[in-house]
Amino acid sequence: MPGFTEIKNHVAVIFTALPVEYNAVREHLKCLEENVHPQGTIYEQGIFSSSNQSWEVGIAEIGEGNEQAALEVERAIQYFNPSIILFVGVAGGVKDDVKIGDVVVASKVYGYESGKAGDTFKPRPAVSSPNYKMINRARAEARKGDWLQRIGELMPNPSPNIFVKPIAAGGKVLNSTRSAAYELIKSNYEDTLAVEMEGYGFLKAAYANQNVDALVIRGISDLIDEKEKADKAGSQKIASHHASAFAFEILAKSHIVPINSEQHEYPEHFSPEKTAVIDEKIKENDLSSDSKTPATTKDSDSKTVQLSHSQTVQEPKAAISNVPYSRNLRFTGREEKLKQIREALLADNTVAVSQPVAVCGLGGIGKTQTAVEYTYRYRTEYEFIFWVKADSEDSIISDYVGIAKLLNLPVKNDSDLNNIVSAVLNWFRTHENWLLVIDNADDISFVKRYLPPDPKEHILLTARLRVFDALDITKSVDMEAMSPEEAKSFLLKRTVRANLNQSELEALDKLVNELGYLPLALEQAGAFIHANNSSFKDYLASYNIRGLKLLEKSPIDKSKYPESISTTWLMNFDEVKKKSEVSADVLYASAFLNPNGIPAEIYHKSSDELGPLISSIFNEVDTDPLVYDEVLKPLWQYSLINREIGCHTYDIHRLVQAVIRDGMEKSEQKLWAERVVKAVNRTFPDVEYINWELCDKLLPHAQICAEYIKLWGLETEESARLLNKAGLYLHKRARFKESESLFKSSVEISFKDSESLFKSSLEIREKVLKPEHFDISESLNNLGELYIDIGRYSKAELLFLRALEIQENTLNSNDPAIAKSLNNLGEVYRYSGRYSEAEPLYTRALEITERALGPDHPDVGTRLNNLALLYSYLGMYSEAEPLYVRASEITERALGSEHPTVSIRLNNLAELYRNSGRYSEAEPLYVRALEITEKALGSEHPDVGIRLNNLALLYSNLGRYSEAEPLYTRALEITERTLGPEHPDVGTCLNNLAELYRNSGRYSEAEPLYTRALEITERALGPDHPDVGTRLNNLALLYSNLGRHSEAEPLYTRALEIAERALGPEHPNVGTCLQNLAIFYYEQRKYLKARSYCEQAIKVVEKTKGKNSLELASLLESYAFMLDKMRKNREATTKRNRAKRIRSNIEKENKK
């Protein structure tokens, strides 16, 4: 059944027409959830609890009108199969007897618009009525006055009255006692006390469904005249509040089970003889609420059958059953698992013998509760449902004896229990339409003896075991932890919480995650929270401190959950240890790893670090791989781990880990933490592209190890090395926030001020290493490289200087490690615009690397590439190109064509071609670089942002703006997301997108991007960095385009000053600044200044681009145009002719 659990006679549906009515009803419910009918009606479902029963209530706001009400009643009855339906809302009072705030319960509803239309309208009374029982309940509650307590603090003085009187319903809103409709009601329906618009259709539809009790309850919100005034005064809210208070009093006092009625309904399969016996027992009061003696009846063979009170009265249509658990009203989710169980049981319907189905899973995962729910959900599908507890052989025998008594078998009191068991098994063989649940069938050594032979009907087992070959069971349903949404829904129901604020919602998310979405843990936590009226936030905080000890304090219902988590699992741990001590040690090691994806490599490569038992058994694993499977088998069999077929990783529930750790002494915990840290360190490979897959597997385990290193103070060489490698991998994969914390742990750097960076590092390292140990320099270098990538150049410089000092004091002067530090320091200087300091470092690094590793080593490619980058920055393209080409060849030959480093080489060479105007050569390199980077690093890596940005730059240069814009946009999104909004690369992306907008005439879109780019760059790189000059120049260009010349001029001037100071007077960027100033002054008709800057620009372009470059030709043509305006025609002709000769020379070269 959609939405509600199928507990008959405990479901109600309440309809309202207006939002104010709906909200008043809603206040009485907890644990609300939305449920959308297939045809569109939106319900909310919630729980209403009274002292003696709980109701599951659906509510809907359906709008006005009798026809709509009738339609929705039919729909709801078919959808929910409720016991009671109510219409609750407001009405207008039509007699002086009532006042605003009183409540009228409809003893009947007149459809006052029914009649015959001729020359005049002739009313024909049409009446809908609630049933006798509901009217009497309303009158009884009206007399008592208990309902007034539900009004609470809003109780008026005098208190409202209840009237059980007729109501009239039509299609119009009555707002005047002078209207024809009002006169019609007064003339023909004079006993009417109130008027509304839905009650007639509501009750008419309900009358067609005799199994549903219905009632209309209305609060008086106006007295017809002055309706608008009353509504404005808030009378509808008051009336709705009173009507809903009385409605829920009716629900609270409605006893659905007809204990003493003379007529009872029985399942169709009950024989007349059974019916007669039950009726006789009812007369004898054997089935009253105080009766302890089970009812009896006769089966078709005239054998007496005992029936419990719950089977004969509370659920008369359900199967005869001994299920020891009541239905769990808080049962949540598991719909897919219930469906799997049902399909598996029905799969053998066409064959003579049915095969049992096993429900498997970790203790506390919800196997028993799911089986209980199955028995209730499908109880009308079976004639008999039996429950047997298989905790021990004695418990099975005891429950079989109980079944014999329930069935009143002749041998039920036999002193030989074997005879009773045989008789029950024989009964299963000779009867049909039964379900047998065998719960906790974990010891299959004796369970097999008690399985019905060749069963024709359904057997369902629950067990922690996963393999049932000995029982010939091949069909199983694996139970897993709840989904996050199921877990949250369960905990909300268990704690009766709704309408959480943001902090509570966040705490709820974290709490269910901490509990691993395990139903038993959620029940324990929910029981404590509910019993102590605690908040989720406070419980989470205490759980983080107390852990399992807090869970064990929970007052859970022992009838539903006889064992806590710890008790549930400790027995399994003992069983594992009996079977295999090595498996037990693997379990202990697993408790100190990340619970998900524990890789086999930890045992294959590092078993020596995990104690003598694991070491001895895994020594042969390389030649005998099944050793691994055999060791894990007991853990998997008892559902303590999850493992997919053929998969070399396994998962363990985080609470299983907690129970294992909690059962250890502190010294044992530390021992296993040390072992695991050493094993993960030994397994973690060098951080190279070829090893990334294994690094990715091990990373979450290294991160858990980082926590244990800190917790236990495991300051060893192994722990430092593990943190360093994990941090380096995170850096390479561009997960900067995580990697920073790992590097900080590795070298224990304080960030209070830059002077104390290396001192703090040494202070920690000197506990285990000498002050000049090489490993310290390695960590310093790695952290420095990270800081380069996130734009913290001054911090990086200090780290590199310290690393270089250590290495030069301890290593040979030609050691490649020194070359790496020199290269890194050169990178800092290049990024900081300190080019003259960078070049000798790059050059020395290249010389050392080539001498130490040979000319074809990939590190030589790196050194060549970085020196070429410097030359490109300086506009020395002819010097840079051969270095780039050689670097590309070395890298591709050494690492393969798909390595991400190859993409860097291609990208940089393409940049050189673009800056040289060789666009056709640049494009294929950019495209290939982007493809390699995305494939190797993933679509969200910041290097992908760089590739996209550079390809977009090329398209912009070519005027292909529609192709460039989406690339710029995506580059900006990736860069900002991965590097943060203040990274200088974000400034670059903003600047380039702004350039596109400016060139497209979209000035209003460009300005905020230019401004933000300038702010970021200046903040990150300092006011004198050449990139700041570029940002100033571009913003000045925009202001010029907008005619804001007074704002543009100082920006142009400052940009030129920065470029000349940082890059030297002959850098291409200086030439660009000079050209822009020349154009600016020309447009201001300041021709002398324009001419001066133009002539300077020509000299720079000749020097940097060559005397036969297109850039020079374009500049000469512009200068000639300027000279024409200045009436310097002869000089203009000279410049123009020179430009023509340059273009002609270029054409000749291209033809060759």
Mean pLDDT of the chain: 83
pLDDT tens across 576-594, in order?
888 899 999 999 999 999 9
Instruction: Measure CA of the first residue to CA of the last residue in the chain; give whole Å.
Output: 82
For 789, the token pair is 């990538």
Q: Which amino acid is at 933?
A: T
**Residue range 922-942: mean pLDDT, rounded:** 92
pLDDT in the model for residue 442: 81
The rounded distance, in Å, linking the Cα atoms of 1132 and 1120 is 4
Question: Tokens 């010389």 correspond to what residue?
Answer: 847
* pLDDT at position 872: 87
Contacts of 381-384 with CB under 8 Å at 24 or more apart are: 381/319, 382/319, 382/433, 382/434, 382/435, 382/458, 383/267, 383/269, 383/319, 383/320, 383/432, 383/433, 383/434, 384/319, 384/320, 384/321, 384/431, 384/433, 384/434, 384/435
Query: 3-state secondary structure string, 618-678?
Result: HCCCCCCCHHHHHHHHHHHHCCCEECCCCCCEEEECHHHHHHHHHCCCHHHHHHHHHHHHH
Helix, strand, or coil here: 8? coil
Q: What is the pLDDT of residue 761?
A: 31
Pull the structure tokens for residue 625: 């791989």
**Backbone torsions φ then ψ of 645, nearest 5 degrees:** -60, 130
What DSSP state is assigned to residue 700?
A: H
Instruction: Give pLDDT tens digits for 1038-1062.
Output: 999 999 999 999 999 999 999 888 7
- pLDDT at res. 115: 53
C-beta atoms surrounding 441 within 10 Å? 30
Rg of the chain taking only CA atoms, in angstroms: 42
Instruction: Give me 810's structure tokens.
Output: 């301890």
More confident of the two residues 1152 and 892 = 892
318-478: which CATH architecture? 3-Layer(aba) Sandwich (3.40)
SS (H, E, C) 860-902: HHHHHHHHHHHHHHCCCHHHHHHHHHHHHHHHHHHHCCCCHHH
User: How far are the Cα atoms of 185, 196, 202, 432 from residue 67, in angstroms, in the given order?
Assistant: 20, 13, 8, 47
pLDDT (0 to 100) of residue 733: 66
Topology alike, domains 11-253 and 318-478? yes
User: DSSP secondary-structure letter at 955?
Assistant: H
In 124-172, the DSSP E strands lie at: 127-128, 162-169
Residue 174 has what DSSP assignment?
-
Alpha helices in 320-382 (DSSP H): 335-346, 367-377
- CA distance linking residue 851 with residue 840, whole number of Å: 17
For residue 109, the cross-strand partners are: 128, 167
Sheet containing strand 475-478, strands side by side = 320-321, 384-389, 434-439, 458-463, 357-360, 475-478
Predicted local confidence at residue 23, as pLDDT = 94
Q: Are strands 84-93 and 357-360 parallel, antiparallel or unpaired?
A: unpaired
Residue with token string 């209207």: 179
Q: 8 or 469, which is more confident? A: 469
User: Is residue 867 a contact partner of residue 842, using CB atoms and an 8 Å limit?
Assistant: yes
pLDDT band at 1007 (very low <50, low <70, confident <90, very high): very high
> How far is the C-alpha of 155 from the C-alpha of 151, rounded, in Å?
6
pLDDT digits (tens, 9 = 90+) for 508-560: 999 999 888 888 888 888 888 888 888 999 999 998 888 888 887 776 655 55
* DSSP β-ladder status, 121-123 and 194-196: unpaired
Angle at the Cα of 219 from the Cα atoms of 217 and 223, rounded to 5 degrees: 130
Pairwise CA distance, residues 474 & 752, whole Å: 64
- At 640, list the tokens: 């303590």
Q: Is the C-alpha dihedral spanning 364, 368, 370, 376 positive or negative?
A: negative
From CA 521, how far away is CA 517, in angstroms rounded?
8
> Residue 1150: pLDDT above 60?
no
Helix (H) or strand (E) holding 1121: helix 1110-1125
SS3 586: helix
Phi, psi of 1137 (to 5 degrees): -65, -40
What is the CATH code for 11-253?
A: 3.40.50.1580
Looking at per-residue pLDDT, the higher value among 527 and 311 belongs to 527
pLDDT of 278: 31
How far is Cα 504 from Cα 510, in angstroms, rounded to an integer? 10
Q: What is the sign, positive or negative, of the torsion defined by CA atoms of 313, 315, 318, 323?
A: negative
Tell me which of 1.10.600.10, 3.40.50.300, 1.25.40.10, 1.10.260.40 is the CATH number of domain 1041-1152. Answer: 1.25.40.10
Give the mean pLDDT of 768-781.
Answer: 82
At 1090, which helix (H) or strand (E)? helix 1087-1105
Question: For residue 279, is pLDDT > 60?
Answer: no
Would you say residue 387 has pLDDT above 70?
yes
Q: Where are the domains of the chain?
A: 11-253, 257-316, 318-478, 484-563, 584-683, 1041-1152
Bigger pLDDT: 190 or 53?
Answer: 190
Q: How confident is the model at residue 284 (pLDDT cuts 50, 70, 90)?
A: very low
Topology of 584-683 in CATH?
Arc Repressor Mutant, subunit A (1.10.10)
Q: What is the pLDDT of residues 641-652, one digit of tens each?
A: 888 777 788 999
Contact 360, 367 (CB under 8 A): yes
Cα 44 to Cα 57: distance, rounded to the nearest angstrom = 8
Contact 607, 619 (CB under 8 A): yes
- Condensed to tens digits (0 to 9), the pLDDT of residues 223-261 reads 888 788 888 888 999 999 999 999 999 998 886 543 333
Backbone angles phi, psi at 211, to 5 degrees: -85, 0
Query: What is the DSSP-derived secondary structure letter of residue 449?
Result: G
Strands 475-478 and 357-360: parallel
Given a contact cutoff of 8 angstroms between Cβ atoms, the answer to whether 987 and 1016 are in contact is: yes
What letter represents residue 476's amino acid? S
Q: Does the pLDDT value for residue 125 go beyond 60?
A: no
Backbone angles phi, psi at 131, to 5 degrees: -80, 165
Q: What is the predicted pLDDT for the residue at 299?
A: 38
In the block, tokens 């064992």 appear at 563
Indicate the range of 40-54, 205-219, 929-943 predicted with least confidence: 40-54
Amino acid type, 655:
L
Please state the rounded mean pLDDT for residues 590-614: 92
Beta-carbon count within 10 A of 1086 CB: 12
Enclosing H/E stretch for 933: helix 919-937
Q: What is the β-pairing status of strands 475-478 and 598-599?
A: unpaired
Q: What is the mean pLDDT of residues 304-308?
A: 37
The token pair at 702 is 């290294």
What percentage of the chain carries pLDDT values higher than 90? Answer: 38
What band does 265 get if pLDDT is binned at 50, 70 and 90?
very low
Query: What's the predicted TM-score (pTM) here?
Result: 0.53
Structure token digits, residue 819 = 């070359």
Look at residue 4 and tell me whether its pLDDT is greater than 70.
no
Which residue matches tokens 């008419």?
204
Enumerate residues 6+ apart whose C-beta is below 8 A from 884.
864, 865, 868, 905, 908, 909, 912
Q: What gap in Å lies between CA 55 and CA 913, rounded to an integer? A: 76
Compute the 3-state secondary structure of the chain and give helix, strand, coil in percent, each to the nearest 5: 60, 10, 30
Q: Return the pLDDT at 563.
A: 63
- Between CA 838 and CA 444 the distance in angstroms is 74
For residue 325, CA distances in Å to 313, 329, 373 come to 17, 12, 10
Q: Under a CB-based contact definition with an 8 Å cutoff, are residues 4 and 58 in contact? A: yes
Query: Torsions phi, psi of 168, nearest 5?
Result: -110, 145
d(CA 393, CA 441): 10
Nearest to 903 by CA among 873, 844, 946, 966: 946
- Rounded Cα gap, residues 731 and 1139, in angstroms: 50
Supply the pLDDT for residue 758.
Answer: 27
Cα separation, 907 vs 942, in Å, equals 14
pLDDT band, very low/low/confident/very high, at 1002 (cuts 50, 70, 90): very high
Q: Which of 95-104, 132-141, 306-315, 942-951 is predicted with the least confidence, judged by mean pLDDT?
A: 306-315
CB 724 within 8 A of CB 778: yes
Question: For residue 44, what are the CA distances in angstroms to 29, 85, 252, 497?
Answer: 10, 15, 19, 15
d(CA 134, CA 136): 5
More confident position, 728 or 451:
451
Q: What does the pLDDT average to over 293-312?
A: 36
